[in-house]
Amino acid sequence: MTTRSDTTTALNRLLAEIEHRNPAQPEFHQAAHEVLETLAPVIAARPEYAEPGLIERLVEPERQVIFRVPWQDDQGRVHVNRGFRVEFNSALGPYKGGLRFHSSVNLGVIKFLGFEQIFKNALTGLGIGGGKGGSDFDPHGRSDAEVMRFCQSFMTELYRHIGEHTDVPAGDIGVGGREIGYLFGQYRRITNRWEAGVLTGKGQGWGGSLIRPEATGYGNVLFAAAMMRERGEDLEGQTAVVSGSGNVAIYTIEKLAALGANAVTCSDSSGYVVDEKGIDLDLLKQIKEVERGRVDAYAKRRGASARFVPGGRVWEVPADIALPSATQNELDEADAETLIRNGVKAVSEGANMPTTPEAVHLLQKAGVAFGPGKAANAGGVAVSALEMAQNHARTSWTAARVEEELTHIMNDIHTTCHETAERYDAPGDYVTGANIAGFERVADAMLAQGVI
Ligand code: NDP
């Protein structure tokens, strides 16, 4: 019989091998540690999961594509970026996961995101595999024409790897409705097919789902509300700190307001804004979605209630709940200490892996409800899967119907994580619950489908 300690030893050996075989990919190592370190109880309890090669296959992408993306700027200068698509696991359905355009993108970042995506997508219960892609292209300060030429060049290679039954990308950092439009146009031109289900996050007049732009932020707030209910509280009257000011942050702030909570911060890579009266969403949307400006412009235009703190982190502002919604490793141990000192009750991750492992440990030890991204931000990919279903049926659902489905899915994910954690002697530990529940679904499908 395999004991828990034998299993832990075997998993530690595998983690060392992952680091050796995938050098210089710290984010991927971090994501692999975070998942594998919680799996010992389920592998010890269910011997079929200890089958040689199962976990080794799970941590190795099925396919990794790296390609050159040449494009010309408005002055005619040629730039050469690097494109990536990591097709990590398709045991449950076509690869599904966003494209990130940011200067920090490299293979290790895309692999961490793709690995997380496998478990997140499994948790939605919607039959989608895990993948992720992107480029080290930085859209900041680029004209629409430059972004269009870049997207067209990117798709000129990517199109041969994707398809509605194969791999379905969406947006992520730096990729929103504008970029998805240019990418879809080039795909359609090259393939001569109206294949709406090849990309999600499309515009609403041409195959996009209502509530898709809102879904990740709304979903995270619904997950936070479910965690608060477990503690016998709700979001009404709570003060929230939110980081970021992109897609996820904006719709997080919107849903918090709808549920009676007050978000007092937002940020970007230049610093953060704190607004005592609560963030004015119309102004933030105007600056970020229409003008594509920086958050300091918000403080300048808002008046006395708001101030801009250059280079600072939102976590120093006292709050009941914290919703990191910008990027990985943006909330560290010192930030967690500050949040705890200020009495935070719940932290729910809108971004992917925004909280460092040390910070997660501190928060859980202090009794703070902690919702990991692969559960809490799964609303985005869930509504993407609903967009695929609508495309397939050549129909479009009302906003009310999509939001009702989203609410149902987020509550279901919360229940699954909560019950799984209890089943494995880790009550209240959503990290363990999410990892094990996602793992069981993927591992069962992989075992049934043989060694491939
Ligand atoms: P956006 O590009 O719309 O916004 C990103 C925001 O985060 C911007 O305010 C940006 O500021 C800030 N940011 C990005 N990188 C950094 C950095 N290195 N340091 C400080 N600030 C930074 O992206 P999204 O809102 O779509 O994504 C945010 C997070 O949510 C990511 O982790 C993403 O993977 C995750 N996510 C997104 C989903 C979606 O549906 N969009 C689904 C699930 C998860 P600046 O403009 O200055 O760079």
- For residue 78, list its beta bridge partners: 72
Residue 84: what pLDDT?
99
Q: What is the mean pLDDT of residues 76-89?
A: 98
- CB distance 132 to 98 below 8 Å: yes
Q: What is the DSSP letter of 322?
A: E
- CB distance 420 to 436 below 8 Å: yes
Distance CA 14, CA 25 (A): 16
pLDDT above 70: percentage of residues in the chain: 100
pLDDT of 1 strictly over 70:
no
From the CA of 212, give the closest atom in ligand 1: 40
CB distance 268 to ligand 1 below 6 Å: yes
- The span from the first CA to the last CA of the chain, in angstroms, equals 27
Residue 94: what pLDDT?
98
Which residue is associated with the tokens 């997207």?
A: 151
| pLDDT tens profile 119-174 | 999 999 999 999 999 999 999 999 999 999 999 999 999 999 999 999 999 999 99
Distance CA 326, CA 203 (A): 23
Residue 4: what pLDDT?
81
The architecture (CATH level 2) of 215-376 comes to: 3-Layer(aba) Sandwich (3.40)
Q: What is the mean pLDDT of residues 417-445?
A: 98
CB distance 324 to ligand 1 below 6 Å: no
Closest CA to 105 of 303, 276, 328: 328
Q: What is the mean pLDDT of residues 289-314?
A: 96
Closest CA to 414 of 375, 367, 380: 375
Residue 3: what pLDDT?
80
Residue 6: what pLDDT?
86
pLDDT of 217 strictly over 60:
yes
- Substitution candidate for ligand 1 out of 247, 298, 406 with most atoms within 8 A of CB: 247
Residue 5: what pLDDT?
85
Residues of the chain with CATH 3.40.50.10860: 63-194
pLDDT of 230 strictly over 60:
yes
- CB distance 264 to 299 below 8 Å: no
Whether 132 is catalytic is yes
**Which class does domain 63-194 fall in?**
alpha beta
What pTM was estimated for this model as a whole?
A: 0.98
pLDDT of 371 strictly over 90:
yes
Among the options 111, 120, 132, 288, which is catalytic?
132
Residues of the chain with CATH 3.40.50.720: 215-376
Q: Looking at ligand 1, which residue's alpha carbon is closest to its atom 27? A: 173
Coil/strand/helix, residue 158:
helix
Burial class (CB in 10 A: 0-12, 13-18, 19+), 47: exposed
| pLDDT tens profile 372-386 | 999 999 999 999 999
pLDDT of 347 strictly over 60:
yes
